[in-house]
Amino acid sequence: AQKITQTQPGMFVQEKEAVTLDCTYDTSDQSYGLFWYKQPSSGEMIFLIYQGSYDEQNATEGRYSLNFQKARKSANLVISASQLGDSAMYFCAMRVTNAGKSTFGDGTTLTVKP
């Protein structure tokens, strides 16, 4: 069984600063993918970034980067130059490659202060 742990229920960051949201995972599978989603108050889940278990380089997408440490089973999301619009819930998820099913963590609420 797969498990995702997000230990930070809430985080605050000053506008224009960088913030790291933590995610650790547990799986016995060797081939898997890690995802981060943003969920604003409107409720829709928005895909941010993906990291494959065999990817050697950390994924980056604009202001988002994923700090992937396979040996520690962590996949932290780094948001650079925070904006007020980044205030939302952030979910880390994992999918075992051949299974299709995604397992989500319980999320971190990020609040960006002006």
Partner 1 sequence: EAGVAQSPRYKIIEKRQSVAFWCNPISGHATLYWYQQILGQGPKLLIQFQNNGVVDDSQLPKDRFSAERLKGVDSTLKIQPAKLEDSAVYLCASSFQGVGQETQYFGPGTRLLVL
* Residues binding partner 1 (CB under 8 A): 4, 33, 35, 37, 42-47, 50, 52, 91, 93, 97-107
Q: How many helices and strands (H and E) does the chain possess?
A: 0, 12
**Smallest distance, Å, CB 92 to partner 1?**
8
Nearest residue (CB) to partner 1, 47 versus 81: 47
Nearest residue (CB) to partner 1, 15 versus 26: 26
Minimum CB distance to partner 1, residue 37 (Å): 8
8 burial via Cβ count (<10 Å: 0-12, 13-18, 19+): middle
CB of 114 to partner 1, least distance (A): 26
Please report where in the chains the tokens 């609040």 appear, as a residue. Answer: 111
CA distance 62 to 36: 14
Backbone φ, ψ for residue 62 (5° rounding): 60, -120
Decide whether 17 or 29 has the Cβ nearer to partner 1: 29
